[in-house]
Structure 1
């Protein structure tokens, strides 16, 4: 489903006051200059120096120096066609897969093996009823992409060669979709994986907001209702993050500007079999969420009205930054990145170095 140069901001991570906290390094969002006004809903954090972003106007950028410089690396012709890139998955500084969304042939997948110097189009959607929203990978070879329902069921695309080729999986193991149900191409997080076989799919637009879970790389799925409000095309679960096979966070709400978004976050501790509402959720719609690296309890959620932090695994949240971001991603080395409208891309760290 389609969606419609800065100052550093300190993000206090809830450290207890005292001498140790006083000397602890303070992470912060540091805005970088991308020299574009594209809206970036696709983001892949490789490490503290390397990240990729993908967005409107056929724009793909890459940095390898912590955001000091961003290099345009869009696929040839993408800008001329004004492709809407909404998700990007990067394996390292040279290899990445990017997804363009839209009805029919507007939904495409491209892969690069040389840092974006060249791209190969590996999939162009031939079905006018399909609309692909998100892509995810289990490892460097195995991955999935998901489309809004076709003939009453979400459609799953699979790759076993790192995104060089794709095939549509059988739909027999996919539950029936609700009327009006779809995924949101808002942050590249409506389809996420953890471990070698587990994958989750977030939905909205239907009577209830659901999370679908597969334990076998997309062949068979179970659907669970969440407490995140739905019942409207603008409401549902927009982003998911799992720190392992069991513990996950869902964020969402109503993306219509100015509309309230109660119960905008939920958590699971059993792999998505059950979901509980956050005791104190973010105060507004949130589209992206990411666990802080090497933490069992800390995560960030982002949206157009700010960034929120949880230090108790999603039960309570507090706003720590008012800036607008659509998506957030963290790398194994501890670096977190965020991206959004008007070319905004930021890194959370201790300065750009």
Structure 2
């Protein structure tokens, strides 16, 4: 699948041989040669040769964990998040390509459940927990993930009854140009929260994406401080998502449904760098592309993926049964 300025011109995803069968919902693309994936069974893999070979670099003692997000700065430095109630939610950091890891956070609150992590720059990062005492909880780092602290919730709008975030692709919490956003579902409305001050205060906006016990916005992507995409649906009914994609042109304050949506559940979305309006959305039933900034989408591949991430010369996708693919530009 060749990614060009006008979208996916020809070909298809090129699957790589990871040698494992874990499900990779966490994906971090560094370049067309370097990428990290993280998934079930405590698995973390890294490639430095464009996917021709993968090295397993799990944190020690992590076999019982479910990694759902990984953020990588280069071939050496990465932060990985495991999800779950209480102590199952953890963060690990490496500075030597995964040869050694340091556990930098272990959740000691049984009410908290961390879903996603993002970095505003090399030092400042945020992690998101589902609501505790009626408010989403934010964890913050100022030293590249080596230490974390829970932020006060005074600046967080109240959560709706039943509202939560989806740990489906590591992109329920994202950042761009010093700002951050997170997406929700589960409640009466699917919403997007946004912050411009490092997570101290947040505002929230409704989206037109339908919400429900297993439905809502699963993934966000912001090209800059104003231009965002939201995709989702209901993972229980992956073949039908009639209003499962929306776009924002004002930093997440308002959202509009795509004129032509993927029509199926999508768990990951990413902008293609260097293009005016091209982005990819993936899910268990296929891959879609937009070339007009999220106004219209069309399916270009029927393979199953959970996460997608793009860098200037390539896009990567990951998912079930150890599937990791690359599309070079």
TM-score after normalising by structure 1: 0.91
The residue aligned with 1:124 is 106
Find the aligned partners of 1:62 and 1:228 in 2 and give their Cα distance.
Answer: 34
SS in 1 for 2:275: coil
Q: Quote how far apart the aligned CAs of 1:261 are.
A: 1.1
- CA shift at 1:12, angstroms? 7.1
Q: Tell me the distance in 2 between the aligned counterparts of 1:26 and 1:126.
A: 49
CA distance in 1, matches of 2:315, 2:257: 25
Distance change >3 Å, CA 13–CA 207, structure 1 → 2? same
* 2:68 equivalent in structure 1: 86
Tell me the alpha carbon deviations over residues 92-133 of structure 1, each in whole angstroms, 9 at most, x when there is no partner.
000000000000000000000000000000000000000000
Question: Is 1:179–1:206's contact at 8 Å kept on the other side of the alignment?
Answer: yes
Q: 1:305 aligns with which of 268, 273, 285?
A: 285
- Matches for 1:1-353 after TM superposition, within 5 Å: 10=1, 15=6, 26=10, 28-79=12-63, 82-196=64-178, 198-230=179-211, 232-258=212-238, 260-331=240-311, 333-349=312-328
Cα drift, residue 257 of structure 1: 3.8
Structure 1 runs of 4+ aligned residues shifted over 3 Å read 10-16, 24-28
Counterparts in 2 of 1:281 and 1:144: CA distance versus 1, 3 Å: same
Is the Cα–Cα contact under 8 Å of residues 238 and 265 in structure 2 kept in the other structure?
A: no
SS in 2 for 1:343: coil
Aligned length: 329
Q: Determine if contact 1:186/1:287 at 8 Å carries over to the other structure.
A: yes
RMSD: 1.5
Output the CA distance in 2 between the equivalents of 1:74 and 1:341.
18
* Helix, strand or coil at the partner of 1:105: helix
Q: Is the CA contact 1:12–1:320 (under 8 Å) kept in the aligned structure 2? A: no
Q: Deviation of residue 26 (structure 1)?
A: 4.7
Deviation for aligned residue 1:11: 5.2
- Flag the 1:158–1:15 CA change in 2: closer, same or farther, 3 A: closer
Structure 2 unmatched ranges of 5 or more: none
Query: 3-state DSSP class of the match of 2:42?
Result: coil
Instruction: Give ranges in structure 1 of 5+ residues lacking alignment.
Output: 1-9, 17-23
Structure 2 SS opposite 1:341: coil
**Whole-angstrom CA distance in 2 between matches of 1:12 and 1:113:** 31
Is residue 36–residue 44 contact of structure 2 (8 Å, CA) maintained in 1? yes
